[in-house]
Structure 1
Amino acid sequence: MNWTLEVVPVPVTDMDRSKEFYADKVGFGVDLDDEVAPGVRIIQMTPPGSRCSIALLQGMPPAPGTKPMAPGTLQGLQICVTDIEAARGELVERGVDASPVRHLGETGWAEGKGGTWNSFMTFEDPDGNGWVVQEAPSELSER
């Protein structure tokens, strides 16, 4: 049986501000923006090339057995790109405060690109949810 990661909820305070950030600044596609039940709004957005989406939720009760997340508490969600310098350039050009590209060196984090799988940058959404972007080998995107 396949288990696929499809949707990750991202806790936010302002749905429209977050939609604008993820669509216009980060470049995610808007798949859905709808009131699915009275008082329940869902905005589902997908990064280019991904099968996994994020969901911004308003008025949705937590699933049974789960606890709600406060805005800004989602940290370390990771996205992979094949050219981290180009990705950073796009984010900065669109107004995202993306960190410099870094890699893990012998004494901790160091500036610049590292070897295969060892180039990272970070950014936060308007609520402080923290994202990690990692460079992956381009041959993986051809699968």
Structure 2
Amino acid sequence: MDWKLEVVVVPVADVDRAKLFYEEQAGFTVDHDTRIRDGVRVVQLTPPGSGCSIVVGTGLTDAPAGSLKGLQLVVPDVDRAYKELLARGVEVSPVQHFEAGDRVDGRGEVWNSFVFFNDPDGNGWAVQEAPGRR
């Protein structure tokens, strides 16, 4: 049996601001924006090519806005991802790698090149180069 991760709830303070960021700056596709009932709104967004989506909204989680850290995307070309995020107005780190647990500017060995960014609430994302992935 396959077990596939479908959705990750990302806690945000302002749903419209988060939706705008993820759609226009991060380049995610808005799958739907649904008001289920008073106080419950679900906005599902999916990164291009991903089988897993994120959900932002109201009435979904008790987690404080911005408390989710370590969300990770993989791309075949981290330099291209960096340029795309920068062109979309995302405040993104330079390409970095890890040495002895510390982040160091510049590319690393295979599977050790990343860029990092936060959404407007401070939820933290890593984008890792995954060679051979399409």
Match of 1:140 in 2: 133
Q: Any idea what SS the aligned residue of 1:31 has?
A: strand
Structure with higher Rg: it is: 1
Match of 2:11 in 1: 11
Match of 1:22 in 2: 22
CA shift in 2, pair 1:16/1:107, >3 Å: closer
Match of 1:42 in 2: 42
The root-mean-square deviation of aligned C-alpha atoms, in Å, is 1.4
Match of 1:101 in 2: 95
Q: Any idea what SS the aligned residue of 2:133 has?
A: helix
TM-score for both structures, normalised by structure 1: 0.88
Question: Please, which runs of 5 or more residues in structure 1 have no aligned partner?
Answer: 63-67
TM-score for both structures, normalised by structure 2: 0.94
CA shift in 2, pair 1:107/1:25, >3 Å: closer
CA shift in 2, pair 1:14/1:105, >3 Å: same
Alpha-carbon deviation of 1:28?
Answer: 0.2
One-letter identity of the residue aligned with 2:21 = F
Whole-angstrom CA distance in 2 between matches of 1:27 and 1:107:
30
Match of 1:65 in 2: none
CA shift in 2, pair 1:106/1:41, >3 Å: closer
